[in-house]
Amino acid sequence: MEPAVAEIVRVLRGSRKYGALCTETLERVARWAALRQRTPRAAARAARSKLHQVYGAYLASGHWRVLERVQAEMEAVALPVGTAPSQADEIRDCARRVLSLHASTSERLAFQEQLYPRLLRGLRPAHGALRVLDLACGLHPFALPWMGLPVGSEYVAWDIDLRLVAAINRFLDLLGQRGRAEARDLLCGPRALERSERGKRGERAADDPQVYREADLVLILKTLPCLERQERDAGVRLLSGLRAQRVVVSYPARSLGGREKGMVATYDRQVHGLAEILGAQVERLEYPTETFHLFTWP
């Protein structure tokens, strides 16, 4: 790692706000800042500003304390989970409290029981179990008690926050859910340049095990706008690198302030553009706070 980049990473790693982000993300943003600023102090300041676009304060410090406390309550429930109805209800109540900690997952609580059957409908897993990949997952894995995945399904979640990855792995272990959470940055990878060129041509990857993996269902919820703010055409590059029966992309239907501001129409145009480039068919599911687009390939 270049000395200038290493120094920016060191400063960021010492930050209370960004110190828990994965090394991939810190190095990527540090390189971006080092190329644009002349002094280490200015570069570190630019890197922090950029990270606010990537992550900001996803969960406030008080929310992390709540998450830790709720997880401790869940782990106090006798295992194996689900052997008694009251036990399963207690886990769901705890998971609901975790989901309520962030706006995106909190908003889905009103309709998630209807949502997941629609997302899973028609999938044809090879061996009866599904392979699910949840990218930039945030707190979404705590909705697993409502997803209704077939027994034996594998659930893999990626996020850039090391604390969140650890919390999700604890939850998967508690549920006895096959799968894992990993600290991964969607804009990083050893074959990033090749993916970039392939995405510009609208090609889908034959195989890229170092970056993405094959799955029956890929979830990319409220993530593409954030990626596009960081890198132009990030959405098409991401989708072109996936091999899946179905990719679900969602967008917010309104801002955090509650204003619609033409967001749905804007994002619909983006989705149609992606579908045309990728040769995909798209089904649209609309809810008051979020619109889901189900990409499939003929």
Backbone dihedral angles phi then psi of residue 20, each to the nearest 5 degrees: -95, 5
> What local confidence, expressed as pLDDT, does residue 207 receive?
41
Numbered ranges of CATH 1.10.8 in the chain: 3-54
Looking at the structure, give the CATH architecture of the domain made up of residues 102-296: 3-Layer(aba) Sandwich (3.40)
270, 276, 231, 274: which is closest to 252 by C-alpha? 270
Q: What is the DSSP string of 120-179?
A: HTT---TTSS-EEEEET-TTGGGGHHHH-PPTT-EEEEEESBHHHHHHHHHHHHHHT-SE
- The CATH number of 3-54 is 1.10.8
Q: Give the pLDDT means over successive 10-residue stretches in the chain (298 positions).
A: 91 92 94 92 93 78 91 78 67 95 94 96 85 96 95 95 96 93 84 38 40 80 91 90 93 66 83 94 94 94
Instruction: Kindly report whether the global pTM for this prediction surpasses the value 0.85.
Output: yes
* Residues of each domain in the chain carrying CATH 3.40.50.150: 102-296
- At 155, the amino acid letter reads Y
H helices of 220-297, in order, are 224-230, 234-240, 263-278
